[in-house]
Amino acid sequence: MKAAVAVVTLSAGIAFGQVKNVASQEVVRNTMNEIYQDNSHCLTAAEIRGDKDAPASCYCRIAISDARYVYFTYLLSGKDTNLNGTFFVLLENVRQTCGKSDPDFVRDTTESPAWKWNGPEVVRTYPADDVVERISPEMKDGKPIGRWIPFTVQLVYRDAHGRVTRTENYSSREWDPVFPK
């Protein structure tokens, strides 16, 4: 029973981006939560224009990060070689989410220690709050349910030296639900 509790505790800790060392009661943080929360160099759902944006999506970045985490933390270190099946499922998720069936892409992004995410810098420009307040909300049964907020997206691509190589600009919109007060 203690082993089952330890596994559940460890799994929950990993899911929330931390692992608790029971002996010393220290909390050791990993960078997974930081990766999940940083959308500055990847596209969110509202900004994805189609399959061509899949490799630059936050979904792709997260899929790669998850596979790398299992590979480097558990498989390569030998901590838990029973996760090979899990790793293979995560590799398939990378293929599908990133829209890349090339085995070299999948291997390089998930197993190379030197690999770094090279998605474009994403600059989102939203209207001011007073402008958003003037956008009429959509109604359902006479009650406001939310509004579409227009915004602009600028993708900034840089070379290995940090110099801008090209930019792309386009418009999008994001659903902003209205919650009853």
- Confidence grade of residue 31 (pLDDT, cut at 50, 70, 90): confident
pLDDT digits (tens, 9 = 90+) for 59-74: 999 999 999 999 999 9
Look up the pTM and report it.
0.75
The pLDDT of residue 136: 92
pLDDT tens for each residue of 75-115: 999 999 899 999 999 999 999 999 998 899 999 999 999 99
Q: Which long-range contacts (CB under 8 A, 24 or more apart) does 65-73 make?
A: 65/32, 65/35, 66/32, 66/90, 66/93, 67/91, 67/93, 67/94, 67/109, 67/110, 68/109, 68/110, 68/111, 68/115, 69/30, 69/32, 71/110, 71/111, 72/113
Compute how many other C-beta atoms are within 10 angstroms of the C-beta atom of residue 140.
Answer: 9
Evaluated on CA atoms 106, 48, 30, 3, the torsion sign reads negative
Whether residue 175 contacts residue 151, with contact meaning beta carbons closer than 8 Å, is answered with no
Residue type, 4: A
**Polymer length of the chain:** 181
- Angle at 35 (CA atoms; ends 30, 38), nearest 5 degrees: 135
pLDDT band of residue 160 (cuts 50, 70, 90) is confident
Q: Does 3 have pLDDT greater than 60?
A: no
Q: What one-character-per-residue DSSP string does 21-85 give?
A: ETTTTEEEE-SHHHHHH--TTSB-GGG--SGGGGGGBHHHHHHHHHHHHHIIIIITTSS-GGGHH
